[in-house]
Amino acid sequence: MGVFGTQARDLFSLEGKVAVVTGGTRGIGAGICIGFAEAGADVVLIQRSATNTSTKDAIEKMGNKAWIVQCDLSNAEEVRKVTKYITEDLGLLIDILVNCGGIQRRHPAELFPESDWDEVIQVNLKSCWCLARDIGRHILETKSQRNGSRGKIINIASLASFQGGITVPAYAAAKHGIVGLTKALSNEWVGKGINVNAVAPGYIATEMNTALIENPTRSRQIMERIPANRWGSSEDFKGVVIFLASAASDYVSGDVVTVDGGWMAR
Ligand SMILES: NC(=O)c1ccc[n+]([C@@H]2O[C@H](COP(=O)([O-])OP(=O)(O)OC[C@H]3O[C@@H](n4cnc5c(N)ncnc54)[C@H](OP(=O)(O)O)[C@@H]3O)[C@@H](O)[C@H]2O)c1
């Protein structure tokens, strides 16, 4: 039966799906993992440390399966090995990838250290490409085992995918790159069974923004420009990622959805 014949809630169900998520220990990524579990998915958490089990514990408490797979996204060698481990050693069939792990480094542009540039590009862009390439290939190779259900890749972008920001040139370059990567992968894969989209968060109250939140002038300026009159929270991402990971979005690909309380429209 086609999707038009199913109940609306079935469109959004992730029952029986396996999602791989980076950055799930806290912040936006933790909200995404909990949302996926609430929609029925089992979740593979790619973490640089296995000692933080809070998201895994929360998912298991809901009756879903969760695995922590150790991988430092700043280490290209570890990132290259991780998909093989998940698919061959754990023997999992992956349906969904969310590239959410990310870092911020702030310096005046004229003083920006090359080491920070390299780290931001590796964690926020190159690791996303490498995981998408390897998990994308896995999804294409295992198409016959999926009963027609599509693979879904979601890259977490930023307002810095559209704007340059201040003192964040590496972050802006990486996040602009994420949008280009999303479109490039979509062009090759949407006809073969994988949707590739991005979500661009606005100003979200997580540890990444501690410096902005603690700066009274910047904090006030940001609030004044958000039409929704509040910073976002990790809860604000559940709906959009469940949509993009489920059959509800089967004809949506190459898009960037902003979740920003109306910021970009201003
Ligand atoms: N907050 C915002 O306003 C905002 C706005 C636009 C876009 N974003 C994007 O949203 C995503 C999540 O941001 P957030 O605000 O939730 O950040 P956060 O609270 O600082 O969390 C960052 C996550 O990335 C993980 N991570 C960082 N470096 C890693 C590495 N080398 N290897 C493995 N994992 C690593 C962290 O793991 P650990 O716990 O091990 O550190 C953590 O799970 C990022 O891509 C960010 O660029 C955020």
203 is catalytic: no
pLDDT tier at 243, thresholds 50, 70, 90: very high
Average pLDDT over residues 9-24: 97
Question: Is the pTM here over 0.75, yes or no?
Answer: yes
Cα(207) to ligand 1 centroid in Å equals 8
CB atoms within 10 A of CB 30: 22
Q: Is the CB of 177 under 6 A from ligand 1?
A: no
Nearest to 28 by CA among 124, 79, 102: 102
Q: Please, are residues 95 and 149 in contact by the beta-carbon 8 Å criterion? A: yes
Cα(156) to ligand 1 centroid in Å equals 10
For residue 21, the cross-strand partners are 45, 98
Q: Which amino acid is at 177?
A: G
Q: Is the CB of 263 under 6 A from ligand 1?
A: no
| pLDDT at 5 (0 to 100) | 55
CATH of domain 3-249: 3.40.50.720
Q: Please, are residues 258 and 200 in contact by the beta-carbon 8 Å criterion? A: yes
Distances (CA, A) of 222 to 75, 106, 217, 230: 34, 17, 9, 9
Per-domain boundaries in the chain? 3-249
pLDDT > 70? residue 1: no
Distances (CA, A) of 160 to 32, 60, 136, 144, 191: 20, 34, 25, 38, 29
Helix extents (H) in the chain? 8-11, 27-38, 54-61, 76-84, 114-121, 127-141, 169-189, 210-213, 216-225, 238-245
Q: Which amino acid is at 249?
A: S
Average pLDDT over residues 187-211: 96
pLDDT tier at 173, thresholds 50, 70, 90: very high
Q: Is the CB of 118 under 6 A from ligand 1?
A: no
Cα(150) to ligand 1 centroid in Å equals 27
| pLDDT at 151 (0 to 100) | 98
C-alpha span between 154 and 29 (Å, rounded)? 12
| pLDDT at 2 (0 to 100) | 56
Average pLDDT over residues 135-150: 96
pLDDT > 90? residue 198: yes
> Element (H or E) spanning 96, and its range?
strand 96-99
